[in-house]
Amino acid sequence: MPGHISTGPEALGVNGCRVCATHELLERPGLPQPRVQSRSVAGSLATFRANPPMFHPLPIFVGLRYVRTRRQGFFVSFISWVSMLGVCVGVAALITIISVMNGFEGELRSRLVALTAHATLEGPLVATPDWRLRAEEVRKVPGTVGVAPFADVQAMIGRAGHLQPVLLHGLDPAVEGEVSVVQEHLVSGQLADLVPGGRHIILGRVLAWQLGADVGVEITVMVPGRELISSGGRPRLQTFTVTGVFEVGLQEHDGGLALVALEDAAALTGRGAVPAGLRVRFDDVMAAPARAAQVAAALGTGVVVRDWTQEHAAYFRAIRIEKTMMSLILLLVVAVAAFNIVAALVMVVNEKRSDIAILRTLGLARGGVVGVFLTQGLMIGAIGTLLGVALGLLLALNVGDIVPVLERLFGFHVMDPTVYYITEIPSEVRAGQVATIGVVAFTLTVLATIYPALRGAATEPAEALRYE
């Protein structure tokens, strides 16, 4: 009869599907036609008819249409673009800052090990006149490229009434090049000038400036003797001649270190020509802790082994703390952008309630509605994260060229050469860190889409279409 819709088996559509039968019935002349609320939903329904879900998932298709559509409100689109921009800026800033801090860490590491070896060996087993035999044993350890003796003495150095604390580092010029690159940092003089018994000394540049000592000037070195500790005796005094100046670019070395011959340093301590220990250099500075353990195992007991990460632990601990705090601060930028994604998707859900109701009426499950808004949120997060990674790599890899342009443009120095030893901004990009930053940022955007998607899936078709 007219207006009666059969519900029996004959009501199945041509494809044997009740949804298709519903489409056919709704398209019959004389039946009231539902009013489609947006062209995006109408296009989705047309695609749904032409392409079964198993070949073209409807939630992904509709979600992508919502990302591309221009019919949604201007404010919703603005919030979406701001969210994407926030993720992009946060990721780019985090990659750039962490890469620059990696560069400073590498620069500090290279300056610290310029005058210090990768590992030091101390103890009665190596502090003997037969240190060369122990050095040969150490050279047999895989990865060892150099071994040299040393003797360090805490002293006071003075000239013309000025006294400065100093660490006298005794070395053997013949083999010192195997464990350090001090020769490359000499401003004047040569390591060969440190002949045994010659009482020659090479000062750090800051120390030489503080004492007003140039090459050829005599200075006094004062070392407390054993009798000073026991009975209040006088310290030992010796006169040395300045034969050179070095500059590493690190206050600890340039302002508090002086180089002398191994025999001269050992004589100040009363040990004769016996070194205090051995210094070792490996083929890979980052593998020094593992290689140092191998050296200790090869020599056995009676040797104390310390690598450069232990000797300068305070520096790198401070850098790790700074990098951690900076990462957390910059991740807050990404988190704020993720909250903007929540706001944008909630407004989209409120705007598309009628569309959701129609899709639910046509058979789309709640999980499909969740997929629609997850797709939209994930697209915003993915595009923002990829753009941020690309921009961050561009800035990090070219920061050394960008900073000088900004300095010339605005007339200032980021690293004033009159104040800082490092005058250029270093950068070191590490693939693992970039991947971690991208994954964390994308994960935050994924979490931000869950609540709006669940809220959209909770829409009741009857309630949403009551006043339509």
- Return the pLDDT at 30: 44
Q: Which residues contact 229 (CB under 8 A, 6 or more apart)?
A: none
87: amino acid identity, one letter: V
pLDDT means per 10 residues in the chain (468 residues)? 42 43 43 46 50 58 67 66 86 92 85 81 83 87 90 87 87 88 87 88 90 88 63 71 88 87 84 82 87 86 84 81 86 82 80 78 79 83 92 92 84 71 82 92 88 81 68
d(CA 337, CA 94): 14
Q: Please choose, from the candidates 246, 261, 154, the residue with its C-alpha nearest in 3D space to the C-alpha of residue 201.
A: 261
Q: Please choose, from the candidates 268, 266, 244, 269, the residue with its C-alpha nearest in 3D space to the C-alpha of residue 257.
A: 244
> Residue 82 burial by CB count (10 A; 0-12/13-18/19+): exposed, middle or buried?
middle
Task: Provide the 10 A C-beta neighbour count for residue 241.
Answer: 15
362: amino acid identity, one letter: L
The widest CA-to-CA distance across the chain, in whole angstroms, is 126
d(CA 365, CA 58): 11
- Return the pLDDT at 16: 45
207: amino acid identity, one letter: L
- Return the pLDDT at 388: 93
Q: Are 298 and 171 in contact (CB under 8 A)?
A: no
pTM: 0.68
Residue 281, classed as helix, strand or coil, is strand
CA distances from 52 to 14, 42, 45, 65 (A): 14, 16, 11, 17
- Return the pLDDT at 393: 94
Q: Are 348 and 457 in contact (CB under 8 A)?
A: no
- Return the pLDDT at 260: 92
- Return the pLDDT at 48: 46
d(CA 186, CA 235): 31
- Return the pLDDT at 406: 84
- Return the pLDDT at 58: 72
- Return the pLDDT at 53: 45
Q: Which residues contact 430 (CB under 8 A, 6 or more apart)?
A: 99, 102
